[in-house]
Amino acid sequence: MANNEATTLYAPTIKELPLPERPRERLARLGPAALSTAELLAIILRTGVDGENVLHLASRLLARYGGVSGLARASLSELVAERGLGPAKAAQLQAALELGRRLLLAAPEERLQIRTPADVAQLLMAEMGHLEQEHFQVLYLDTRNRVLGSEPVYKGSLNQSQIRVGEVFREAVRRNCASIICAHNHPSGDPAPSPEDVAVTRELVAAGKLLGIELLDHLIIGQQRWISMRERGLGFES
């Protein structure tokens, strides 16, 4: 018991944070686009629990479910069982995520359009840059490079043999996508590509050509850094 008490860390509440660092105040000052996914989620959840402020709670949920898309697939019962949620917060979270989904369906012209690798990095860095496990994410694009959605396809310790090309492209085929962009994180924080990263990229490029669904890019995301495999010509050799 004494050891447990000794290792307990005090987490300041949101009200104890400096005013400029609080999510709602940052949103009011900078606008919602400037906030990380965890900060936006914290605003929806409003409060944390004993020993864990709402920002930590939001970051924990994002890491556990592999980001917003994973949270959107979670059932109400799964969310209710999470420490710090309960029926009311779980319902609020599902309602907010469903509103976002309906917005994409109702206004396709407003979907994010990918023009550069930096657009992808901006979309995923906050969510993937600090994950403790490796996640492999796929973005699905239409003929104008607008994002139709994204899915985490794998998570955990990954190697080339674990990533199956068919699974990467399955949802893209179902959605009738024109192209995809893949991204995965390096929990070490260093986005330098490994030989396996290059080999996986090469396999995905070849599979995309056969399926008629182009792999536009493969990003590797570290902590505050990222690398575009296409920009470096790694795995995209003609």
pLDDT digits (tens, 9 = 90+) for 140-172: 999 999 988 888 888 776 554 467 888 889 989
Phi, psi of 187 (to 5 degrees): -60, -20
Q: Is the pLDDT of residue 25 over 80?
A: yes
Are 137 and 151 spatial neighbours (Cβ–Cβ below 8 Å)?
Answer: yes
Give residue limits of the domains in the chain.
7-106, 112-228
**Domain spanning 112-228, CATH class:** alpha beta
pLDDT at 166: 86
Spatial separation of the C-alpha atoms in residues 214 and 176, rounded to whole Å: 12
Best-predicted range by mean pLDDT among 9-13, 107-111, 129-133, 187-191? 187-191
Q: How confident is the model at residue 104 (pLDDT cuts 50, 70, 90)?
A: low
- Looking at residues 23-44, what average pLDDT do you find? 84
Q: Is residue 214 within 8 Å of 208, Cβ to Cβ?
A: yes
Joined together, the tokens standing for residue 18 give: 């400096």
Judge contact between 119 and 112, C-beta under 8 A: yes
Q: How far is CA 154 from CA 13, 22, 78, in A?
A: 33, 33, 20
179-185 and 214-221 strand pairing: parallel
Q: Return the higher-pLDDT residue of 25 and 2.
A: 25
- pLDDT the model gives residue 162: 66
d(CA 105, CA 1): 52
Name the residue type at position 124: L
d(CA 147, CA 144): 9
Mind listing the pLDDT tens digit for each residue in 211-235?
Answer: 999 999 999 998 888 999 999 999 9
Where does the chain have alpha helices with state H? 2-7, 23-30, 37-45, 54-65, 68-73, 76-80, 86-106, 117-128, 165-174, 195-211
pTM: 0.59
Looking at the predicted structure, is the pLDDT value of residue 3 above 50?
Answer: no
* C-alpha to C-alpha distance for 67 and 238, rounded to whole angstroms: 34
Summarize the confidence of residues 25-45 as an average pLDDT.
85
The number of CA neighbours under 13 Å toward the Cβ of 113 is 6
pLDDT digits (tens, 9 = 90+) for 72-93: 888 888 999 998 888 999 999 9
Average pLDDT score over residue span 39-47: 88
Residue range 36-63: average pLDDT? 87
Q: Which residues contact 165 (CB under 8 A, 6 or more apart)?
A: 203, 204, 207
Structure tokens at 36: 């990380």
Residue 204 neighbours by CB under 8 Å, 6+ apart: 165, 168, 182, 215, 218, 235
